[in-house]
């Protein structure tokens, strides 16, 4: 009797539920292994049943308590389904047999401000065992949140825009971080070609993602630099957030133009007063503009006058810089009785270039003399008539006395 009781107890133990201990889930693979802040990716989790029994009605919940930096798009719960031969999706009880693998896919977003590091993400699995008892287990897997800087040269300009020998200029470079992580301790170094000197290093500090930074270098084209293209090497060094060092090497091209001699052109002409009449004194102003590529030094203007004009003939202007202007002034007078008309005047301009060589340019201008207005003669006529009348009266009285 006792033997029969022991046998019955063993049979009961054999058919009792084992609380799912014969189903053993393991996470075999997670892709991608590295996630980037601010990006949305498809997270694939491959799981295997390495136990000795099967599981049914399997479903999973990713990060059920929202403890990880992942935001799940489209719901956290996923059911394990299979496909029939006709391609129709069916629950098929979600059966996972021994040694079978299945993959869960979640579309997740990593918050942009997530610090770099490795995070544990919980995945809760729920299923029914062979006795139709609900079982659950929480598996944890790690994801690495990290990124890499990627810096490009997004802009370059220089002031002035055209470079000549013996010219100082500013080279401005703009850098942009289009990568997935900030770059720290950013240093820019220039490799200057022969003929160009000046600053070579600039410190930009930290360049955040999707941000710009500029560096300005004060440079100079040497006086004896030859005409033609020059390559300036640019080397940018930085430290990534994970401590690794990176660098960028690029080249930009500058062109040195031949420096032509100064060239002075008449840019304006004025007289004061505006209308010139015979016998009138006036001021002649002639404006000169330097349209050359050098400064004109010790500028002197000599004026050749026709016979109907007289006055000063020389004006000293000093230095006229590139694209600058200066005015020569002459105090003149129109001779009385000058007929109305246009009178040409010849100008000879003398100046030195930056090498000390003397240059001479001839220019020609013209001024107009108009006839005096009719009204300007009346006072003289009236005055002369009055004088004649006074003289006539005086003459008659004197004659009467003598008579």
Domains of the chain: 19-145 (2.60.40.10), 151-256 (2.60.40.10), 264-371 (2.60.40.10)
- Give one word for 65, left, alpha or beta, with left for phi > 0 and alpha for psi -120 to 50: alpha
The string of pLDDT tens digits covering residues 128-163 is 988 889 999 999 999 988 888 889 999 999 998 889
Which of 22-26, 234-238, 395-399 has the lowest average pLDDT? 395-399
Confidence of residue 221 (pLDDT cuts 50, 70, 90): very high
User: What is the share, in percent, of the chain residues with pLDDT greater than 90?
Assistant: 58
Q: What is the pLDDT of residues 49-83, one digit of tens each?
A: 999 899 988 999 999 998 899 999 988 998 887 65
Rounded distance between C-alpha atoms, residue 106 and residue 126, angstroms: 17
| Two structure tokens written together for 41 | 């990716």
| DSSP-assigned beta bridge partners for residue 256 | 163, 228
Distance CA 205, CA 192 (A): 23
Confidence of residue 323 (pLDDT cuts 50, 70, 90): confident
Q: Which residues contact 395 (CB under 8 A, 6 or more apart)?
A: none
State the pLDDT at residue 375: 52
Query: Quick one: pLDDT at residue 241?
Result: 80
Average pLDDT over residues 172-200: 93
What pLDDT digit, counting tens, does each position of 345-368 carry? 999 999 998 778 899 999 999 999
CA–CA gap between residue 259 and residue 48 (Å, rounded): 77
- pLDDT value at 12 more than 70: no
Q: Residue 211: how many CB atoms within 10 A of its CB?
A: 13
> Of 111 and 90, which is predicted with more confidence?
111
Neighbours of 310 (CB within 10 A): 14
Phi, psi (rounded to 5 degrees) for 391: -65, -40
- Residues 257-307 have pLDDT tens digits of 887 788 899 999 999 999 999 999 999 999 999 988 788 999 999 999 999
pLDDT at 4 (0 to 100): 38
- pLDDT bin (cut points 50, 70, 90) of residue 344 is very high
pLDDT for the residue numbered 21? 63
Q: Choose between 94 and 121: higher pLDDT.
A: 121
Burial of 329 by CB count in 10 Å (0-12 exposed, 13-18 middle, 19+ buried)?
middle
Could you give the C-alpha distances from 60 to 73, 77, 198, 219, 272, in angstroms and in order?
15, 6, 64, 64, 96
CA atoms within 13 A on the CB side of 358: 5
User: Residue 99: left (phi > 0), alpha (psi -120 to 50), or beta?
Assistant: left
In terms of phi and psi (left: phi > 0; alpha: psi -120 to 50; beta: otherwise), the region of 63 is left
Per-residue pLDDT band for 374 (boundaries 50, 70, 90) equals: low
What is the pLDDT at residue 392?
Answer: 46
Is the predicted pLDDT of residue 6 greater than 50, yes or no?
A: no
Task: Give the pLDDT score at 18.
Answer: 38
Cα 120–Cα 122–Cα 126 angle in degrees, nearest 5: 165
Instruction: Please provide the DSSP assignment of 294-350 as one string.
Output: S-EEEEEEEEEPPTTEEE--EEEEEEE-TT-EEEEEEEEEEPTTPPSEEEEEEEEEE
CA distance 401 to 403: 5
Residue 48 pLDDT > 60, yes or no? yes
DSSP state of 193: P
Residue 218: other Cβ atoms inside 10 A:
10
> pLDDT-derived band of residue 124, with 50, 70 and 90 as boundaries?
very high
| Confidence (pLDDT) at 242 | 77
Q: What average pLDDT does range 340-348 have in this prediction?
A: 93
Count H helices and E strands in the chain, helices first: 2, 27
Q: What average pLDDT does the chain have?
A: 84
Cα distance between residue 257 and residue 165, in whole Å: 8
With pLDDT > 70 as the criterion, what percentage of the chain qualifies? 84
């Amino acid at each position: 009797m006792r033997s029969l009781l022991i046998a019955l107890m063993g049979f009961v133990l054999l058919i009792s539920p084992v609380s799912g201990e014969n189903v053993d889930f393991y996470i075999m693979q997670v892709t991608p292994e590295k996630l980037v802040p601010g990006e949305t990716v498809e997270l694939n989790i491959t799981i295997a049943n390495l136990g000795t029994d099967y599981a049914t009605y399997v479903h999973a919940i990713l990060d059920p308590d929202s403890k990880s930096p992942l935001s799940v798009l489209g719901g956290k719960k996923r059911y394990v389904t299979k496909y029939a031969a006709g391609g129709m999706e069916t629950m098929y009880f979600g059966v996972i047999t021994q040694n079978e693998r299945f993959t869960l896919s979640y579309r997740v977003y990593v918050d942009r401000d997530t610090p770099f590091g490795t995070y544990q993400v919980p995945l809760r699995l729920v299923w029914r065992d062979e006795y139709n008892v609900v079982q659950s287990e929480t598996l944890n897997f790690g994801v690495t949140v990290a990124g890499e800087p990627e810096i490009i040269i997004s802009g370059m300009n220089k002031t002035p825009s055209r470079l000549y020998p013996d010219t100082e200029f500013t080279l401005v470079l703009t850098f942009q971080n289009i990568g997935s992580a900030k770059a720290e301790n950013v240093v820019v170094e220039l490799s200057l070609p022969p003929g160009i000197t000046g600053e070579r290093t600039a410190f930009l500090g930290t360049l955040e993602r999707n941000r710009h930074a500029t560096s300005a270098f004060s440079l100079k084209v040497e006086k004896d630099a030859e005409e033609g293209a020059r390559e300036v090497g640019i080397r940018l060094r930085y430290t990534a957030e994970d401590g690794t060092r990176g660098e960028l090497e690029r080249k930009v091209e500058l062109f040195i133009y031949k420096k032509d001699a100064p060239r002075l052109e008449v840019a304006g002409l004025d007289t004061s007063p505006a209308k010139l009449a015979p016998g009138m004194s006036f001021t002649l102003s002639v404006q000169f503009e330097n349209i050359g590529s050098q400064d004109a030094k010790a500028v002197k203007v000599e004026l050749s006058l026709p016979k109907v004009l007289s006055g000063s003939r020389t004006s000293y202007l000093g230095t006229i810089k590139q694209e600058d202007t200066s005015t020569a002034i002459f105090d003149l007078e129109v001779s009385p009785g000058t007929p109305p008309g246009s009178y040409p005047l010849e100008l000879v301009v003398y100046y030195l270039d930056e090498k000390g060589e003397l240059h001479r340019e001839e220019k020609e201008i013209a001024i107009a003399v108009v006839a005096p207005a009719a009204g300007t003669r009346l006072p003289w006529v009236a005055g002369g008539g009055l004088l004649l009348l006074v003289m006539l009266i005086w003459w008659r009285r004197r004659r009467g006395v003598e008579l």
